Each structure stands twice: as structure tokens, then as C-alpha cells.
Chain A
Amino acid sequence: MKLNINKSRSLWWIISAVIILAGIISMVISWQQPDIRAPLRPGLDFVGGTRLQFVRDCNKPGNCDQAIDINAVRDVAKEQGLGDSSIQVISENGGENGVLIRTKNLDVEQRTKLQNALSEKIGVFDPQKNQIDSVGPTLGRELFRSGVIALIVSFIGITIYMSFRFQLDYAVFAIVALFHDILITVGVFSILGLVLGIEVDSLFIVALLTITGFSVNDTVVIYDRIRETIKINPQRPIAEIVDDAVNQTLARSINTTLTVLLTLLAIFLFGGETLRNFSLALIVGFTMGAYSSIFIASTLLVWWRERSGQSYAVDSAESIDTPASSQDS
């Protein structure tokens, strides 16, 4: 099997463009939703507020006999002036025994009042299973800002490193591929936010940065192969060289992505609530990372070199360095 990626490159570009466009449209729609007002549905970490998770103590006799009535919870919230909170009943201890409430920022007194009122209505809670998060809005903004700065800094760092190890145009297209992966991941989560109400938290930014590392990782391996092939065969057209390089590294790309996806799948399935969206973001981003390295970064490089009249790679041979492990033999 041999992949002819450069022959049908406009197809790959169109596929990517369509996915990216869908994401952007979703972000625009999401921005206009009165309850979101942002390209992605922001979680507690970014907008501030209080999230309470209570689970009933089922060791107490009779405490868990009836399922939690979500309307009773709503009534209690309304009585306390928290009518616009989002309320969810969650499964715990083998039944619908937990309740998750997201609301505006509550202070200790308000919170205790709510907790006591709820406890009276629906049963005694197990304090060992409580989870209470409160984040002020200023902190969230800071978190978001530092995350975006971290992304930009790593982009710049990677560009510098790659133009040093390869050439500037390699670096630029690696970053384009990277942007592609990040944009698609963000787009997918924007759609998920609209459709399933999935929120993004600070771990989402961590996921984006990890995708950054992985995506370039993948691109570097193919570039490395291109550089090597050019060195051996400087007279061949760049399109052929790149096609060959991609095909030679294809098994590796698939296998590595597969093993990483296997571990991510394990985290997604068994890793618990907190890590579920995190691993999902990585699954999307890493899959896209593999795709873009093969179909976007490489084809763009060919397109650029052909356009700028460097379709025969002779003059770039000087940038080849020998691997540093040459002392081993």
C-alpha cells in the first residue's frame, strides 16, 4: 500500500477546512447563546461560581429508599433565591443518590444553609463524599490568561527550535498543522458544549498544551525523514520525496497514535469523572495531530516549495546535521 498524499492534497485541505469551519460556526452560535456568551461553554474555573456535589449516606437505614426528586431540589434552591442554578441528579452508591448543583458564588453561610435545607428534604449526606468548589471570577480570568500565554510561549519556543534544527519553512508549516489541531479540538468542544452541555475547565488548557507537544512530535518525525531522504537524493522532486517519507513513517505514525490512544481510552473509560473530558480532548487532538502531520504539514511544505521554485531540493541539503549518537557502533 502506498499513499499518494500530494496528488489529492486539495481533498485533505477541504476535509480539514470543513471541520474547522463547522467548529467556527459552532463557536459563533455559542457566542450568541444567552447562557454561554463565549466560543466554548466555560466551566466554573473560568467564570466563577460554586459547584456543590452531595451524595446521600446509604449506610443510614431508609436514607436511600427513594430516588432523589429533582423538583424537590429545585424548590429548595428557589426558596433560597437560587432559582437559576443548574441542577443535576447523579448516580452514586448504585442509584440516583447524588445531586450536583452549579450556582453563583455562595459564601459559607449561604452554602451551609442550602446544604442543611437539602439534607432535610432528600436525606442525610455523607460528608466524606462531598465535593465543593468555589472560584471567584477574577481567578478564572487569570487562569485563562496564563493558559493562553503558555500556549503562545510554547508555539514560539517550538518555532525557534524547529527553524534551528530544520528550516524556517518547515517550522512555519509545523505550526500551521499545530494550529489546525488546536482549532479542531476547540471546535469539537464548542460543538459538544452546544449539544451536550460539556464545559471546559483549566484541564482543557493543559490538554491543548499536551496536544501541542504531541502534534509537533509527529510532524518532526516525518520532517526528519524528509530531510534524510533529501540528503541521499537531492535531485528528486520534493513531492516524491515527501510522499516517500510519509509512507516510510506511516506504520510508526499509526502505531504510536494507536498506543497513545489505547492509554487515553483507558483513562476515558476508567479514569473517573474529572479526567473524562480531559482524555476526550486529548483523543480528538492526538488523532488530529497524526492526521495533520501526514496530510497537512507535509502537503503544505510541498506546495510551498513548488510555488517558490524549490521543487528540487538541492539547495536545502546544507541544513542536514548528523545524528548526535554517532559514538555508538
Chain B
Amino acid sequence: MQRQRSLLALILVLVIAAITVIATIPIPLGLDLRGGSQLTIQVKPSAEIPRITERELEGVRKVVEGRINGLGVSEPVIQTVGTDKILVQLPGVNDPEQAERILGGTAQLEFRTQKPSTEPQLYAFQSSRAGLKAKQEELRKSNDKAAIAKNQEELQKNNQAIAELFESTKPPLDGKYLKDAAGEPTQGNNWNVAIRFDQKGGELFAELTKNLAGTGRSIGIFLDNGLISAPTVGPEFAATGITGGSAVITGRFTAQEANDLGVQLRGGALPVPVEIAERRTVGATLGRDSIQSSIYAGVGGLTLVLIFMVFYYRLPGLIADVALVIYSLLTWATFALLGVTLTLPGIAGFILSIGMAVDANVLIFERTREELQAGKSLYRSVESGFYRAFSSILDSNVTTWIACAALFWLGSGLVKGFALTLALGVAVSMFTAITCSRTLMFLAIAIPSLRKPELFCPNLPTSNKAEVTQ
């Protein structure tokens, strides 16, 4: 009895905790439910780069990230998928066409020269840009869409103004001449970024640096028409410029900054073409309709199962129903805690797991009935019902987990969500169907007025009944 009590306390605590979690942590909705755009960008090999490695992929990801930040979307998701794809999720985007246009092209990296006597302007614009960027970060947190858009617009204007202070060389020195760029440590804690051009690029770069050396004007390094770095060239290069095709951008970079700049430069230099391999756009209200119908389906399905269980299994059925409700609460709370994003297939997985969660109880109760019919006492029957059904429950759940693992391991986004919710559901159902219903069942048996076998099994042979009720 003591054990029953402490288990009951544990269940109560878990239920209260689950309700608290559900009330405080909202479950993020997938794009198919909240509306928005999802794009899969495929990075393709080219003649120069026949194989896409992690390095190229990371470079392209940076470029994509830069472009998306330019769109001013709140909470974008940008991640690499597999060996050659980038997944972009833009929740609540109203103009997916614009996003597609911007993401579809290859990044444009260009080295430009600053126009004469524009130094003070550049300085002023750069410091106001820093301010705008800091503000943008803050606004992102507050999720105020109008303010974000307004700030974005100002940043855009600022970018434009900065770009006007620079001019292209003839012919333009762009990303196709760049061979490599990488951060490298120097003495102390500083980092530099080393860049390397091919032969033609080296010549153009020498020309460019010769013109700028010692003037105080900067080289403008532009990615997609936005300034990412503006180093100056020392007077010692005035005679020949920086020759040999290699250069080092110094400045007090941290390791992180140097690396980022390296990646950006490489990304812009990548001659790899990108292609939008998949795009899915769901209007916001359409998603809302889906949620609504899924909720109807969930509640409808659950109600049908609850009614069936009481109808067929009587008192144990009622107990199973309580366990099932606890199951739903715990599973939902687990999703919230793990940050599972809820998608349409995810909801289906959850609803399905409700149906399957009943299985364990059905197995147990069938066993209990058999034992009762075989003439065992109520207590013994309930006990061996739980004991003997366990190996079946375990085996059948493990096989479901194996299928889920395969889905999770090999499937893509949507499929993964389904596998995860189903696997979690099965795990929680092991606990609720066995521990919860067991505890409640023994509590029920402890109450004398409930200790009637006909509450457990209708149509019991009368001879057995007499024997059991003694």
C-alpha cells in the first residue's frame, strides 16, 4: 500500500508539472500550420569545384543568411541539410516571390575603390550603421514587425549611401578571381584574414592597392552590394601595390570575426551555382484551418476511444481512460520541453499514439479477464494481468521504436517530426499504461465497494463469481 501511495504522489506531481509546462511553454508550430515559406536550396558542383564540401556549403549558407537578414524576416531558420542543401524557413512571409528572387542568384563579391575625399562620410555612415544593427538585434527580440521593417529600411538606405562612396575598378575585381580566404592568428590575441587571388586577380589587386596606398581611402569589399569590410592600404605599397596575389587584412579581429569574414569572402567567391530545389508556401489562414481540423480530429478520436474503453472494459476501462488523459498531458508537456515543432504529420503521430497507447491496457485487461474466468481471485487476476502482459508490451513497443528510428535517421524534415512524436508517445505510453493504470487499479481494489468482479468482467460464470466475492 505504501508503494501505491508514493507512486500516486509521483503521478500527481507529474501531472501538475505537465499542466504547468503546457500552460507556460507554448509549442512552436511548423510552417505548414502557421503559414510561411520553406525553400530548399541545392548547391551544385561546377567545372571549377566538382565536389561540394562542408567548406563550400558553409560559405553558401553564410551568403544566404546575409541575404535573408536583408529581408527583415523575424525568426528565420537557415540550416544545412545533408551534404549539398540548405533549408530556409521563413515564417509568415507575405512575399515569397521576393525571397525566392533574392535567394536564387549566386553571391556577388567585389573589391572596389573608395572615391576621393569621402572619408568623413564613410566614417559617419559606418558608425550609424553599427547603431542600426544593434537596434535591429534588440527589435528582433521584441518581435515588433513594423519596427523591424522600418529599421531594415533605414539599414538599406545606409547601405546604399555607403555603396555610393565606392566605385568599381575596370575591369571589376570580383569574386571569381578570389582563390581563398581564411582567418589566421597573429601574435597576441589578434586575428587577420588572409586572401589569395589567381594571377589575373593578383594583377588587378596590385593595381587597386597601388592607387589607394597611403591615401587613407579604403578598399571596399562588397558582398551582394553591401560593405562587409573596408581595409586601408599602407603607404609602403605606393610604388607597386600589393603584388603576388596574396594579401592580409589586418585589424583587431577576434577569431570569430576573422573566421566569419573568411567564410563570407569564400562564399562570395564561390563559383558554385545554387538552385531552389523545393519551395513550399502555405498561406497563414490555410494553416489555421488545418490546426482547427486537426484539433477536431484529436478530440474526436480521443473521445471515441474513451467511450469504447468504458463500454467494453467497465471499471478497468475507466481507469485506462484516466491513464490515457494523463498520457496526453505528459506527452504534450514532453513535446513542449523538448522544443518539438508541431507539424501536421506530427499531430497525426500524436493522435495515432493515443490510439496505440490503449493497446497496452487492452493487453493487460484481457489477461485479467482470462485469469478471472479461470477462477482466480480478483487481486491475483489483476496482478498477473499486469505481470504477464509485460513481455508482449515491451516486444511490440521495441519493434515500433525500430521503425521510428529508421524514419528519424533517414527521413527528411516532416518525416523526422512524425517519427519523433510517435516514438516519444510510445515511450510515455509505456509509463502511463503500466505504472499509472496499475497504481490506480490497486487503489480501486482497495475500496471495498469497487471490489466486485462484475465491474471487471461482465458475464462471469456464476460459480466463479461466488468464489471470488467471498
Contacts and interface: CB of A to CB of B under 8 A. Distances in A.
Interface string B274-314: 01111111111110011001101110111011001100100
- Best-buried of A146, A154, A279 by chain B (most CB within 10 Å): A154
A108 B344 CA distance: 26
Interface in A187-232: 202-203, 205-206, 209-210, 212-214, 216-218, 220-221, 224-225, 228
B52 to A, nearest CB: 14
Interface on chain B toward A: helix, strand, loop, or mixed SS? helix
Given A136-B42, A260-B352, A206 B278 contact: no
A139 B278 CA distance: 8
A83 interface: no
Contact of B415 (A126, A129, A206, A267): A206
12 contacts: A132-B96, A139-B42, A143-B412, A150-B407, A151-B406, A154-B403, A259-B358, A260-B359, A267-B352, A321-B391, A323-B394, A324-B394
B13 interface: no
B293 A108 contact: no
- Best-buried of A216, A263, A328 by chain B (most CB within 10 Å): A263
Given A153-B410, A260-B352, A271 B283 contact: no
**A-B pairs with lowest CB-CB distance, top 9:** A266-B301, A263-B301, A213-B403, A263-B355, A154-B406, A260-B355, A213-B400, A150-B410, A217-B396
Contact of B289 (A111, A220, A272): A272
A277 to B, nearest CB: 12
Contacts of A266: 296-298, 300-301, 304, 351
Contacts of B305: 259, 262-263
A262 B304 contact: yes
B305 to A, nearest CB: 5
B418 interface: yes
Interface string A154-197: 10011001100100000000000000000000000000000000
Interface residues of B, number: 80
Contacts of A324: 390-391, 394
Contacts of A130: 281-283, 286
Given A150-B407, A259-B355, A271-B348, A132 B279 contact: yes
Contacts of A311: none
B100 A108 contact: yes
Contacts of B445: none
Interface in A231-261: 248-249, 251-252, 255-256, 258-261
B366 interface: yes
Interface in B372-431: 383, 386-388, 390-392, 394-400, 402-407, 409-412, 414-415, 418-419, 422
Contacts of A248: 370
Interface of A: 108, 111-112, 126-136, 138-139, 143, 146-147, 149-151, 153-154, 157-158, 161-162, 165, 202-203, 205-206, 209-210, 212-214, 216-218, 220-221, 224-225, 228, 248-249, 251-252, 255-256, 258-267, 269-272, 274-275, 278-279, 282, 321, 323-326, 328-329
Given A132-B279, A270-B293, A165 B366 contact: no
A135 to B, nearest CB: 5
Contacts of B358: 256, 259-260
B355 A150 contact: no
Contacts of B387: 323, 325-326, 328-329
Contact of B355 (A138, A147, A264): A264
A206 B351 contact: no
B170 interface: no
Given A217-B356, A259-B309, A264-B301, 8 more contacts: A134-B278, A147-B410, A165-B395, A206-B345, A228-B388, A279-B348, A328-B386, A328-B387
B285 A128 contact: yes
Nearest to B101: A108
A205 B286 CA distance: 24
Contacts of A150: 406-407, 409-411
B362 A131 contact: no
A111 B409 CA distance: 35
Contacts of A165: 395
A263 B415 CA distance: 20
Contacts of B312: 255
Contacts of B399: 158, 161-162, 213, 216-217, 220
Given A138-B42, A210-B352, A270 B411 contact: no
B121 to A, nearest CB: 36
Contacts of B308: 255, 258-259, 262
Interface of B: 32, 35, 40, 42, 94, 96-97, 100-101, 104, 275-286, 289-290, 293-294, 296-298, 300-302, 304-305, 308-309, 312, 344-345, 348, 351-352, 354-356, 358-359, 362-363, 366, 370, 383, 386-388, 390-392, 394-400, 402-407, 409-412, 414-415, 418-419, 422
A321 B394 CA distance: 13
Given A133-B281, A136-B275, A220-B392, A128 B35 contact: yes
Nearest to A111: B97
A269 B297 contact: yes
Nearest to A252: B366
- Best-buried of A111, A126, A249, A256 by chain B (most CB within 10 Å): A256
Given A150-B406, A267-B297, A131 B348 contact: no
- Best-buried of B383, B399, B419 by chain A (most CB within 10 Å): B399
B310 to A, nearest CB: 12
Contact of A263 (B42, B94, B351, B410): B351
B91 to A, nearest CB: 14
A78 to B, nearest CB: 23
A262 B309 CA distance: 12
Contacts of A214: 356, 400
B297 A271 contact: yes
Contacts of B390: 323-325
A248 to B, nearest CB: 7
B297 A270 contact: yes
A135 B278 contact: yes
Contact of B40 (A139, A157, A321): A139
B180 to A, nearest CB: 29
Contact of B280 (A126, A133, A146): A133
- Best-buried of A132, A203, A261, A272 by chain B (most CB within 10 Å): A272
A324 B224 CA distance: 63
Nearest to B324: A259
B415 A161 contact: no
A127 B386 contact: no
A128 B410 contact: no
A131 B286 contact: yes
B407 A206 contact: yes
A205 B415 contact: yes
A128 B288 CA distance: 10
Nearest to A50: B279
Nearest to A282: B352
